Structure 1
Amino acid sequence: MRGVVEIPSYLLLQPTTLCNLDCAYCYLPHRAVDRRMSVPVAAAVAETVNDWATRVDRFSVVWHGGEPLAAGREHLASLMAPFTGVEHHIQTNGTLIDDEWCGFFRDHRIEVGLSLDGPATRTALRVDRAGRPAYERIMRGVAALRAHDIRFAVICVVSEPTPELARELYDFFGQLGCYWLGVNIEEREGVNRRDNHRTDAAVRGFWSALTAAWVADPRFELREVEWSLHYLAAAVRGEADSVLPRRRDPVPTVAYDGRVVLFSPELAGFDAAGGHRDFALGNVRQTPLAEIVAAANRPTGWVAEYLTGVERCRRGCAYFGFCGGAHASNRYFELGRFDVTETEHCRNTKIRLLEGVLDAARDT
């Protein structure tokens, strides 16, 4: 595939499919079942990753479930043991974090990312299987992290974006104490079939208000706004092509059973039995991860279809320089194919994001 780097910037691993929550917008199949990654699968991944880590300044292994902590400390430690020279990250819903987990994070030098959507009323879609709100349990986890002086990032899912919500969230996360915030407008993908159509004014106003709040008081790193400004600066210098995301980074995701997908982690775990295509491009139990990633240079099947769509985006979309083409999973789960172009996700988190940042700049 033209433009794919030899070594990805990071890798995602699924230690278990199980999650102790049942969030309304979750895209993951099999999250009610505890299917755990085996140590031989992790070791097979490490054979490639340990070599990659010697050839780059920094390589991140991101443990992302299900709920990674549901695998337990002993099993997670055994999965991490084969890796050397990497930086470990965990993306967790926070409900299981306690003093013992904080000790584990410190002992293994793990970077922690939380999934939290704001104050209790804004986190109402995060519930357990009995429908009970998860907010108080998440906040106990936050308190434990803060008590142990462990820094944390946050991924926030926004289902109903408005300018008022942007200001509310910025104040909340500023007080929470996270060092970094990423905001995902809810996506229709995987098993989540909720409608993700939003009005232009609401979404654009959300991003504009969030940008204005950050500019006025930059208390933490704000992923979407900082990426937009990075791109705009490159565009002014005539270097926009050098900062395209994803087009150059296949972002391998290894499911619990060793199957590997590229470009969109949200494609992991699906197969014909679940009413979807099997998006896996190989399995580390049979083929080295490096070979699976390198095969994307000779695209076939859905990858070739996806790259056709990317080229259509390049030719027809004025925002291509910013996003590098609609994400593979959003194309498929919204429109049923990979060679289509603009998606609701494009509009909500690329087009309206960039326009909202520019609106904030004009109003400053």
Structure 2
Amino acid sequence: MEVSPVQLLIFQPTPFCNLNCTYCYLPDRKDRRVMDVEIVRTAVEKLKEEQLLEPGFGIIWHAGEPTVVRREQYAEYFAAIRDVLGDFQLVNHFQTNGTLIDDRWCEFIKEHDIAVGVSIDGPDFIHDRSRKSWSGRGTLDKTLHGIENLKKHGIEFHTISVIGEASLGHAKEVYDFLVSLGPVLLGFNVEEEEGVNQTSTLADRSERVEQFFQELYDLARENGFDPPVREFENACGSIAAGHNNEANQQIHPYRIVTISVDGAFTTFSPELLGMSAKPYGGLEIGNVKTDSFRGALETPKYQQMYGDILAGVKHCQATCEYFDVCGGGAPANKLFEKGSFAVAETRFCEQSLKIPTRIVLKDLETVLAGSGKPIKGFDPKDKGRWISPWQ
């Protein structure tokens, strides 16, 4: 089977998180295990030997709070990766809640040139409603303290904010608050039915979600898209590129590889790791300790999963007018919302992709008709770039 090189390699250094966010999809957030350095070394060795790595890929330390793991442990991880890859071009990313970012972490981040994303949902009446400590307290103040430390050390960061029911009707408050923090990019994830989070506060609120995104777009446009908003950047890039199946990392084997704390691995959507579903059982397809990556693609479980994912992509292509800017949807959302990979539209697709695309298209049509101001930064000849929702 022909397989493209890895674009995102996601390691779960620990399942543990010091927060207990109400919408989190991860099942084992009190599990304090830490990934052994030999799992990192073995994974990278096998990917290299199997010719699945090319310069320029990203490593994301995620699926738990990365900063609860000791800095010394990361130094060992990074040394193991260098031992295997030498001067191979790659970027390490932390997606963090920011609450533990102190001066020592900032020094470490700068020393190792780590890209940082901070999870923060907005002002306290939004953020503290969902992003709580295990004792039930809000965490915004600690997150803001972490951001101040990043800024003090001159470290750029982007933000990722979850849109839930509490956000609706408050786009201006959210936007103004986030912009005031000085991030280089704003990203927005709609609350999802995924993993252990089996319901979403946005389940019947697509119209209000569209109102939120429209107001967000108007605010960002007026501000010259400074900072850029990931959802609108992706929409512009997809519209310019036209046929965009290749940009959908989640439907191509090993574009994304996700590896758990114990070495289990999967591909397609990172959210599949650690989950199970009929008829596949566990959604991991191998373990770096015992299996090769290419060999895992020959197993009956993988073949069934991939066949169903392709059936879902074909269904999207046959039924959805947004296929050219989407490429076939997110397998994890199809499975968790509809119980099958072999389906088309999901609520997640409507709220996170179709709505931003409609908003950008409507504005672009107005501009091209000569009745609207040009969209700063948008060039129809520019194919744009796809910004991953995990970084």
Same topology, TM > 0.5:
yes
Would the aligned equivalents of 2:250 and 2:331 in 1 still touch at CA under 8 Å? no
Would the aligned equivalents of 2:6 and 2:54 in 1 still touch at CA under 8 Å? no
Say if 2:219 is the partner of 1:213. yes
Would the aligned equivalents of 1:234 and 1:243 in 2 still touch at CA under 8 Å? no
Match among 70, 75, 91 for residue 87 of structure 1: 91
Name the residue aligned to 1:73.
71
CA–CA distance in structure 1, aligned partners of residues 19 and 244 of structure 2: 40
Name the residue aligned to 1:149.
154
Quick one: percent identity of the two aligned structures?
A: 34
Number of corresponding residues: 357
Name the residue aligned to 2:122.
118
Would the aligned equivalents of 1:15 and 1:63 in 2 still touch at CA under 8 Å? yes
Greater displacement, 325-334 / 156-165:
156-165
Name the residue aligned to 1:268.
273
Say if 2:163 is the partner of 1:158. yes
Change (3 A) 1:225 1:52: farther
Name the residue aligned to 2:104.
100
Q: Which runs of 5+ in 1 are unaligned?
A: none
Task: Say what the alpha-carbon RMSD is for the aligned residues.
Answer: 2.7
Please give the secondary structure, in 1, of the residue aligned with 2:170.
Answer: helix
Change (3 A) 1:343 1:189: same
Say if 2:230 is the partner of 1:223. yes
CA–CA distance in structure 2, aligned partners of residues 70 and 298 of structure 1: 34
CA–CA distance in structure 2, aligned partners of residues 264 and 128 of structure 1: 27
Amino acid at match of 1:141: G
Change (3 A) 1:163 1:136: closer
Match among 195, 199, 209 for residue 194 of structure 1: 199
**Deviation of the 1:78 alpha carbon:** 1.7
Please give the secondary structure, in 2, of the residue aligned with 1:144.
Answer: helix
Q: Which runs of 5+ in 2 are unaligned?
A: 83-87, 367-371, 373-391
CA–CA distance in structure 2, aligned partners of residues 212 and 297 of structure 1: 49
CA–CA distance in structure 2, aligned partners of residues 246 and 268 of structure 1: 13
Match among 329, 334, 338 for residue 335 of structure 1: 338
Would the aligned equivalents of 1:53 and 1:59 in 2 still touch at CA under 8 Å? no
Match among 166, 176, 180 for residue 185 of structure 2: 180
Would the aligned equivalents of 2:247 and 2:327 in 1 still touch at CA under 8 Å? no
CA–CA distance in structure 2, aligned partners of residues 115 and 80 of structure 1: 24
Would the aligned equivalents of 2:26 and 2:195 in 1 still touch at CA under 8 Å? yes
Please give the secondary structure, in 2, of the residue aligned with 1:300.
Answer: helix
Please give the secondary structure, in 1, of the residue aligned with 2:44.
Answer: helix
Change (3 A) 1:24 1:108: same
Name the residue aligned to 2:26.
28
Would the aligned equivalents of 2:19 and 2:133 in 1 still touch at CA under 8 Å? yes
Amino acid at match of 1:36: V
Change (3 A) 1:115 1:50: farther
TM-score (norm 1): 0.90
**Deviation of the 1:167 alpha carbon:** 2.4
CA–CA distance in structure 1, aligned partners of residues 314 and 63 of structure 2: 32
Greater displacement, 346-355 / 88-97:
346-355
Name the residue aligned to 2:384.
none
